[in-house]
Amino acid sequence: MALLPATAQSYAVRSAIVCALLVLYLFVCRIRINKAMLIRMIGPGVVVGLAVFALWVAPEASAIYRRLFIIGETCAEGHSPYDPAVCGWPLTIVRLIGSAFIIAPAEEIFFRNFLYRWLQKGGDWMSSSMHKFDLSAFLWTVALFALEHNRYLAGAMAGAAYGALAIRKGLGAAIVAHVTTNLALALYVIEKSAWAFW
């Protein structure tokens, strides 16, 4: 997927592939969603998700922050492949849905459910508890999550928040938090034409 060009059409393809892999993962692992448990996770997840959104957006007002803590170029207004003036509203909406409801859960399943546990026990990761705090595994997961994002300081803070939430409240709460952050960010990007975040 990394070989795909940075276009809205490629993002739609990427989202479809990740969605198919998520469905396959849920089917193969026979994961059932417990509605009562999910309801208990919504409150903490939404609170953490909105806090991460604020931490992601607020520092952008500082030129020093932008110079020191953002890797790579950010697009100028009207130059984003996801701007509806460039790609049309259907692909902009696909970007919103993909970011919030497909990519966010996939990242949480990978970073919190697999990587964090694998870093604790390696090949025997399935026997490792997500609820056990392991400093080394936690820091590695946060660092790798940060490096996946061009705003690496915000990515590190987000990774730490989602990781701590997963340990305390479970994977579902971390997924709710990440979905909340990405949905709030997507709505902010569209409302404010802040395409640099995408």
pLDDT band at 6 (very low <50, low <70, confident <90, very high): confident
Q: What are phi and psi of 73, to 5 degrees?
A: -80, 145
Q: What is the pLDDT of residues 64-107, one digit of tens each?
A: 887 777 776 555 555 789 999 999 999 999 999 999 999 999 99
Handedness of CA 156, 159, 160, 161 (dihedral sign): positive
Q: For the chain, which residues make up each domain, given as ranges? A: 8-197
Instruction: Give the Cα separation of 164 and 30 in Å (integer).
Output: 25
Q: Rounded to 5 degrees, what angle do the CA atoms 174, 97, 15 make?
A: 90
CA distances from 38 to 50, 100, 104, 115, 170 (A): 18, 17, 16, 22, 10
Record the pTM. 0.88
Greater confidence, 28 or 189?
189
Instruction: Give the Cα separation of 144 and 64 in Å (integer).
Output: 23
pLDDT at 75: 54
Contacts of 38 (CB under 8 A, 6+ apart): 172, 176
Q: What is the pLDDT of residues 144-168, one digit of tens each?
A: 999 999 899 999 999 999 999 999 9
